[in-house]
């Protein structure tokens, strides 16, 4: 539930994957589901680790957005150069007012992973 909409002060993009068959092979391509939506990004602490069943050795965050249809655990969220994999989705009180996305940040070594847009610009999406 969003008590103070002023806390949704970040603009994020939500990406999904679209499957396609080309030449007898399946491939997935990133598709931007929602662009520049308002969100709050907060680190996950204490009992929230236990509730969301996330591991503590990764950068875990909770992203709160207004309710949107079509967001699943296979989606990724990007904010500037940070890429977050959605681990679980909570609709507080089943009110369809907001969504809490519990995510893990993709980090490769000391640098963040490529955003889906960077992969599209390079001409391909191969995980």
Q: What pLDDT digit, counting tens, does each position of 43-93 carry?
A: 987 555 555 665 555 788 999 999 999 999 999 999 998 999 999 999 999
Residue 11 lies inside a defined structural domain of this protein = yes
In a domain, 127, yes or no: no
What CATH number does the domain containing 50 carry?
A: 2.40.10.270
Report if residue 111 sits inside a domain: yes
What pLDDT does 69 receive? 92
Tokens representing residue 85 in the block:
């994999």
b/e 25-44 (16+ beta carbons within 10 angstroms → b): eeeeebeebbeebbbbbeeb
Higher pLDDT, 81 or 98: 98
On whether residue 63 sits in a domain, the answer given is: yes
Identify whether 41 is part of a domain: yes
For range 7-25, the mean pLDDT: 88
Q: What pLDDT shows up at residue 51? A: 56
**Residue 74 belongs to what domain range?**
5-20+27-121
Number of domain units in the chain: 1
The answer to the question of residue 126 being in a domain is: no
User: Which pLDDT does position 124 carry in this prediction?
Assistant: 52
């Amino acid at each position: 539930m969003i008590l103070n909409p002023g806390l949704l002060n970040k603009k994020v993009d939500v990406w999904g994957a679209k499957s396609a068959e080309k030449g007898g092979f399946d491939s997935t391509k990133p598709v931007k589901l929602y662009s520049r939506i308002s969100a709050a990004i907060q680190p996950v602490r204490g009992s929230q680790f236990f509730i969301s069943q996330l591991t503590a050795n990764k950068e875990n965050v909770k992203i709160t957005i207004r309710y949107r249809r079509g967001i699943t655990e296979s989606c990724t969220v990007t904010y500037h150069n940070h890429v977050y994999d959605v681990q679980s989705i909570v609709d507080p009180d089943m009110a369809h007012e907001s969504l809490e996305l519990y995510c893990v940040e993709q980090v490769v070594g000391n640098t963040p992973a490529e955003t889906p847009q960077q992969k599209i610009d390079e001409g391909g999406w191969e995980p």
